[in-house]
Amino acid sequence: MPEFLVNALIAGLVLALVAGPLGSFVVWRRMAYFGDTLSHAALFGVALGLLLDISPMLAVTLGCVLLAVVLVLLQQRQPLASDTLLGILAHSTLSLGLVTLSFMREIRIDLMGYLFGDLLAVTSDDLLWMLGGSLLVLVLLLYLWRPLLAITVHEELARVEGVPVVAVRLAFMLLIAVVIAVAMKIVGVLLITSLLIIPAAAAQRHARTPEQMALGASLLGMLAVCVGLALSWFADTPAGPSIVVSAAALFLLGFMWPKPD
């Protein structure tokens, strides 16, 4: 295979491996809109990276982390519902990013590439960044697995048992922020949430334990990457959207497949 296709395959498989267990918690905790909010904030991170002349991927990571911290602080201090706060932050950061980009007329950027990704353009340097970020997320997720399960099942009971609920929740949001920054190059800021949610939702129907669901989500995500890349290679379709379409097709197949007793 050509080198760019090998890089794309490795990057996609690594991202799917991490997105599986993380997306499972997103589905369990009903946080899909939070992923959308962070993905919208990623565009503002890209604009800041170009404005400050730093790596866009680093700027996206910092921007998503900052937004996660702001959201946790606002949830602690404001009486507004979480979906209201997320709606305000999502549309404000997306609009702010677009306004910032409009002022930088001397800088030409591929906005469609940031919005929808370009997996086939992943370089060796990008691959190293993705491998490092994904490995960090996996290690931290394994460490936080039991506390995250505890606050997902019953947050008040977990607090009584001594679990630092706020700290664990913030750590989980930061992990999502890192994954979104890593995935931006692959599927783009507008499709990241789909890659997190669809494989996990497909695995949920047939899993008996949380661990089975996390593993199944990773495997389905990796299969979607392989099918999507094959579709992109042979049918000349965009790689990122092809992966998401493949994941959606696997979800429909799983939905039609009889549920185990």
Whether 159 has a pLDDT exceeding 80, the answer reads yes
Q: How many whole angstroms from its chain centre is CA 119? A: 15
Instruction: Determine the pLDDT at residue 260.
Output: 62
Could you read off the pLDDT of 236-250 as tens digits, one per residue? 888 888 888 999 999
* Backbone angle region of 206, left / alpha / beta, with phi > 0 → left and psi within -120 to 50 → alpha: alpha
Average pLDDT (89-108) is 77
More confident residue, 227 or 78: 227
More confident residue, 124 or 140: 140
Domains in the chain: ranges and CATH: 3-193 (1.10.3470.10)
Whether 88 has a pLDDT exceeding 70, the answer reads yes
Could you read off the pLDDT of 93-102 as tens digits, one per residue? 888 887 877 7
- Where residue 78 falls among pLDDT bands split at 50, 70, 90? low
